Structure formats: structure tokens, C-alpha cells
Amino acid sequence: MSSNCTKKVVYIDSKHLRKECDRIPQVNGRATLVHELIVACGLLNHLTPVPSRLATEEEISSFHSRLYIDFLQQVNESDDLEAHEDEQEEFGLGYDTPLLSRMYDHVRVIGGGSVVAAEALTSSGAEVAINWCGGWHHAQRDGAEGFCYVNDIAMAILKMCKKFQRILYVDMDLHHGDGVQNAFASTSRVMTLSLHHHGPGIYPCSGDVTDVGISNGRYYAVNVPLHEGVSDSTYCDVFQKVTEKVFDTYRPDALVVQCGADGLHGDPVGCAFNLTSETYTTCASLLLSRGLPTLFLGGGGYNLPNTARCWVALTAAIAGCKLPAEVPEHDFLGEYGPYFEFGVQPSLRKDYNTKEYIDSIVQQITENLKHVELKEKSQSSEKR
């Protein structure tokens, strides 16, 4: 497989990281599936593998509260998880995000992967870093939420803030990136941009276009609420229009991109969008064309073979490689049947995002960003 990529692309991996990610109930085995397909496609030859490590308590506490960390440490060695049922609800642990054995160890492993990726961009000369075991964007400061036990994204961004003055976070998951937006809602150091399914009763019930941040971060949260049936053409069109306006206004020094694949057609949890892998590779290419240090992370994606197809296609696009037409022979080939092509086919479902609706969203975002433009000009004048 040839490569025309001249960037140093770091790939975060370790057996421990994959094993820990694999035991998250909703994506059991996904990390191994993704990694083995990357290996089978020969992509490791075009990446710089970097081993993960455990996050330190200081790194975890850079975002998460002392109370949450104390609870995780308290139950870490517990043999009777049911004994903590009353306490766990206080920290968002329950039905959809159940308490796991060795909870604190889990948080250290998952958080550490994205911290190492951030370090690769800040101190190791990498231009792009990939951690498909990261991207848990719903976790809040005080607890778990929405399948997410630790907000590795917030931890990575805080690490990157030590070098980069302005960071743009882009969230492509089907669900609103509420945990990351909440983490940085009051600062202009980080702008959050989330494109997601939105409407009454749709989890996490946030992320309207009027949701723009607070205090010093007001208008530095950009939300693109989308209706059901989003097609590749609709998504890529609005993505290009909004990111162009964001870059023109904010001019970030670095990017963090969450690539949740639950917007793919056939996802059993998302069930709302009608995307293929081409949307993800097209949008990633648009971001990479900016030439900024960029961190790519995973996220949602509950049709595991399709998520693997998508993230491996993204890995190839980032590394400047071409994929074979079909999934190569390897130990997990059977997971990709009954068809073995790399492409994820869209359905014939209707796209409820009309041109008028998309135009109105882009117009509202444009108006919101005018406030950012004024703030940026004011700050620039003050520095002179």
C-alpha cells in the first residue's frame, strides 16, 4: 500500500488500552476489531505507534471533581458492586452507564490514551495524533454520563492548552458533545463546535443553535442541530459552510476532533442519520487542509463492524493511503459479513433537513459568530 502522507501521524495503542475499552458494555470488543483491521490493511506501516500509559491522579483531577475521583478510588477494589448502588446514582452511574469493576483503573487507562495523544502534539513533534479508544464526550466533571466514565477529551484539551492558545473542538458524533461544551462553556480559549441530532426528548436534550456558552465563553460554543435522515451531501455541505465561518472568525492554533460513528446508517443506537464513511473522510480532509496540529478521537458507534470500517477509512485518509476494495483476510473477517466491502451503504430514507432549514441554521451561526469577531478585534486592540 502506497502513501503520499508527509505528516508525522501518531497512533496511540496498547493491549491494555484496547482491553479496557473493549469491556465498556455498549462497545464490547470494538477496540480490538478496529485495531486488527488497521493492522490487516497494513496501515501501521504509515503511522508512528506510540504506547499509551495510565493517566495520573493530577491529570484526572485537572477536569474531574475530587468527590468523583474519591468514589472511583473507593470502589476500585470492591468485590461487591451492588453494595454501592445508593452512592453510584450521585455520580451518574446506573442503568446506561453501569458501575464497572476496577472503575478507577478504567478511568486511568482510558484517560491516559488521550493524554498521551495530546502530549504527542505538544512535545513530540507529531502533526496528527489518533486515539480511537478515546472520545467519551458526555462525562461531566462530577460523574459519568451516557456510556462515558471519564471525559478524556477535556483532559486532552487541558493538556494541549499548555502549549496552544486557541483550540477548536469539533464533534461529529450523532449526539451533542455536552460534556466537552460544559467543560469549556465559560472560556474563549476553547471553541466547541458540535453537529448532532436534536429535537424534543433526544439525548442529551441540549445543543440548540441558541446554546452559545456563558460568561467569557459566550458565543464560543457553536451548535448545529440537525433533523433525522441527514445525508452525506447535506452533512458535508453544512460542515464546510460552518467550519469556514468558524476558522475565519476564531483562527485556532490546534484542533481536537471527535469522530463518533453513530451517525452511520445502520447504527442501532443512533438510528437517525443516513451517513456513510465518506462524510467522515471528507470532513476530516477539510480539517486537515488547515495544516494545524490535530487530535482525532473515537466516540459513539454501536454497529461495531461499520464503526471499524469508518475509523479505518479515516485512518487511511489521515495517513494518505488507499484502502483495498474489500476487507482483507484476518481473524475477524467474519464480523464483516454478509458483504465484505469497506463502504457503508446509505438507505433510501428521507432527509428532513431542508435547504431552508440548513440555510437558517447557518445564518443564525453567522450572526452568533459576529459577536466573537467583535470580541477578538477588541482583544487584539487591547494587546497593541
Task: Tell me the pLDDT tens digit for each residue of 314-367.
Answer: 999 999 999 999 999 999 999 999 989 998 989 999 999 999 999 999 999 999
Domains identified in the chain, total number:
1
**Per-residue pLDDT reduced to its tens digit, 98-139:** 999 999 999 999 999 999 999 999 998 899 999 999 999 999
Q: The domain containing residue 266 runs over which residues?
A: 9-383
| Residue 3 forms part of a structural domain | no
**Per-residue pLDDT reduced to its tens digit, 229-249:** 999 999 999 999 999 999 999
| Residue 2 forms part of a structural domain | no
Judge whether 138 counts as a catalytic residue. yes
| Residue 258 forms part of a structural domain | yes
CA triple 118-119-122, angle to 5 deg: 90
Cα–Cα distance measured from residue 150 to residue 145, given in angstroms and rounded to the nearest whole number? 9
| Residue 22 forms part of a structural domain | yes
Question: Residue 364 belongs to a domain with what CATH number?
Answer: 3.40.800.20
| Residue 229 forms part of a structural domain | yes
Cα–Cα distance measured from residue 200 to residue 82, given in angstroms and rounded to the nearest whole number? 34
Helices 355-383, 232-250: crossing angle, 10 deg rounding: 20
Residues, the chain: 384
Residue of 35, 8, 6, 3 lying closest to 20 (CA atoms):
35
| Residue 162 forms part of a structural domain | yes
Residue of 258, 183, 244, 169 lying closest to 214 (CA atoms):
183
* Three-state DSSP class for residue 155: helix
pLDDT at 124: 84
Cα–Cα distance measured from residue 224 to residue 7, given in angstroms and rounded to the nearest whole number? 30
DSSP state of 65: -
**CA 161 and chain centroid, separation:** 18
pLDDT at 84: 72
| Residue 4 forms part of a structural domain | no
| Residue 1 forms part of a structural domain | no
Residue 257 pairs in a beta bridge with 170, 296
Amino acid identity at 39? V
Q: Kind and range of the H or E element at 221?
A: strand 221-226
- What confidence category does residue 382 fall into, taking pLDDT thresholds of 50, 70 and 90? low
Pick the catalytic residue: 46, 137, 138, 265? 138
